[in-house]
Amino acid sequence: MEFVQQQPTSKAPADWFTGDVWWDVIFAGQEPSRMRANLVRFSPGARTNWHSHVLGQTLHVFSGVALIGTRDGTIFEAHPGETVDCPPGEEHWHGAAPDRFMEHLALWEAKGDGSTETTWAEPVTDQQYNSPRTRELPQTTS
């Protein structure tokens, strides 16, 4: 057992985000672990670009209102204590509602072969971001 040395909080890259976003790398596993965990803080209206993760991504909301958008135009609204799972390869974005800060834990896995675990695409437009939201998540078949 060991304590993991924490890196300082850093500003998220402007190439991948719109607005002010800060993160703390909680864990970046080294082989054999593939786990990744970041605590991410979004200012009101801030959001990621469109992106996908080769092995999927899980988001757990700690504070504020999270918006999670999919390519079909659906925007899911998630509240503190809620967890949203984005399947492997699904293009999506996530960020804060326009009127409050949002903080979530982002969890994903690296592929293990050194290849890119996240594929980044274009910024989310204001029109996409401001589309109607839903609280109705699709039902899973498990």
Number of structural domains found in the chain: 1
Structure tokens at 90: 């699904």
- The boundaries of the domain holding residue 93 are 10-112
Q: Within a domain: residue 3?
A: no
Contact present, 105 and 64 (Cβ < 8 Å): no
Per-residue pLDDT of the chain (142 residues; tens, 9 = 90+): 888 888 899 999 999 999 999 999 998 877 777 889 999 999 999 999 999 999 999 999 999 999 999 999 999 999 999 999 999 999 999 999 999 999 999 999 987 666 678 999 999 999 999 998 888 766 655 5
Distance separating the N- and C-terminal Cα atoms of the chain:
34
Instruction: Let me know if residue 133 belongs to a domain.
Output: no
